Amino acid sequence: MAGMSGDGRRPDDWSVVVPVLNEADELGGLLAGVAAAGEVWVVDGGSDDGSRTIARRMGAHVITGVRGRGIQLQRGAAEASRPFLLLLHADVRLPEGWAPLLAAALEQPGVVAAAFRLRVRGPGWKLRLLERLVDLRSGWGQRPYGDQGLALRRSTYLAVGGVRPLPLMEDLELVERLARHGRLALVPAAVRVSDRRWRALGVWRTAWRNARLRRAWRRGENPQGLAELYQQGQRSGPGRAGPDPQRLYQKAQRTPSGSRVQPWRW
């Protein structure tokens, strides 16, 4: 098969995996940017907006029947056959020459995975400051997140156990495991992502919410409950009522092991 022994510098050496749920507005732009990839797997979580139709028309393989970004990524990566793997969100726009950029990063000594810098498609100084903070976290801190794209050799992905089927924090959990095996390189080029997640709550409120979620996850709290908190926050825009902490606490209180999700106000 073409690309099975490639060095990653050609798009044909890459399998691209994209989990989606109602991404008709964004998916076409991403797929146009990865049209030359060896294969593209779009894993749909039950869209009703035509996302699957768009994916098929643009030549992607479509997997259905699973919902939750962790398990969607897991299913898509299990089908991947190229020697390099790129995990992407649907609202990402890749830079020109993405394949050789990623290959060069992965060729560096001790590097096990690579990600892009983050740039947000939206105006305002708060977003520009956010981008600089993400650069620091990803470069100096060695902790890129899923919205920056995560690239690695398929052999490395398999060796570390792949993506876990988590409802939230699946990207951070994988990055933490990868970091135990080597460095995570930051590519000197940026992906451009939608500003929609920061519009919902505002930049600082979103950043604070995400930091609290990450802290709760690191303390071992219930990922399903944290996912519910996250989704409730996304549906609460600026000036609108946030989630009812007591109701969420009752729904997401315990895991099978007994860990708890502590409610907080947004």
Q: Map out the domains of the chain as residue ranges.
A: 11-194, 199-252
pLDDT tens-place string over residues 37-77: 999 999 999 999 999 999 999 999 999 988 899 999 999 99
Q: Residue 45: what pLDDT?
A: 95
Contact of 66 with 72, CB cutoff 8 Å: yes
Contact of 182 with 111, CB cutoff 8 Å: yes
Higher-pLDDT residue of 204, 80: 80
pLDDT exceeds cutoff 90 at 213:
no
Calpha distance 42→57 (Å, rounded): 12
Neighbours of 214 (CB within 10 A): 16
**Helix and strand totals (H; E) in the chain:** 11, 7
Average pLDDT over residues 137-150: 87
Q: Residue 239: what pLDDT?
A: 41
Calpha distance 112→117 (Å, rounded): 17
Contact of 220 with 182, CB cutoff 8 Å: no
Average pLDDT, the chain: 85
Query: Which residues contact residue 224 at a Cβ distance below 8 angstroms, ignoring those fewer than 6 apart?
Result: 167, 252, 255
Average pLDDT over residues 6-25: 96
pLDDT tens-place string over residues 194-207: 999 888 889 988 88
Strand partners, 18: 42
Q: Residue 233: what pLDDT?
A: 58
Calpha distance 34→40 (Å, rounded): 8
How does 5-32 read in b/e, with b if 16+ C-beta sit within 10 Å?
ebebbbbbbbbbbbbbbbbbebbbebbe
Q: Residue 1: what pLDDT?
A: 41
Query: Which residues contact residue 158 at a Cβ distance below 8 angstroms, ignoring those fewer than 6 apart?
Result: none
174 burial type by CB count under 10 A (0-12 exposed, 13-18 middle, 19+ buried):
buried
Q: Which CATH class is domain 11-194?
A: alpha beta
Q: Is 237 helix (H, G, I), strand (E, B) or coil?
A: coil
Q: In what order do the strands lie in the sheet with 150-153?
A: 61-63, 39-44, 14-20, 84-87, 150-153, 111-121, 183-194
